[in-house]
Amino acid sequence: LKNFHEFYPGKFNNKTNGISHRRWLLEANPELSDLINETIGTDWQLHPSELGSLRRWAEDHAFLEKAAAVKRRKKE
């Protein structure tokens, strides 16, 4: 492909085939998305690195209970 790229510069570009964090989390688990929204706001939906701010809640008992409840409901 390198030769084709040299012969036709700009013709080839990368396409991601994976699912985005937004689609997976927002559509597959809206309850968890809502918990994240109420905990850290909605910026994570456009800037996934913002999910790192959940670390400060890693020891918060109330947050962990809510997250566990979401997990239990999704497994039912």
* Domain-located, residue 12: no
pLDDT, tens only, 2-17: 777 788 877 777 776 7
* Domain-located, residue 58: yes
Asked if 73 contacts 31 with a C-beta cutoff of 8 angstroms, the reply is yes
Of the candidates 5, 62, 66, the one whose C-alpha atom is nearest the C-alpha of residue 32 is 66
0.85 cut: is pTM over it?
no
For the chain, the domain total comes to 1
Q: How far apart are CA 70 and CA 18, in angstroms?
A: 25
The boundaries of the domain holding residue 40 are 19-75
* Domain-located, residue 52: yes
pLDDT of res. 21: 74
Average pLDDT for residues 47-65, to the nearest whole number? 95
* Domain-located, residue 41: yes
Binning pLDDT at 50, 70 and 90, where does residue 1 land? low
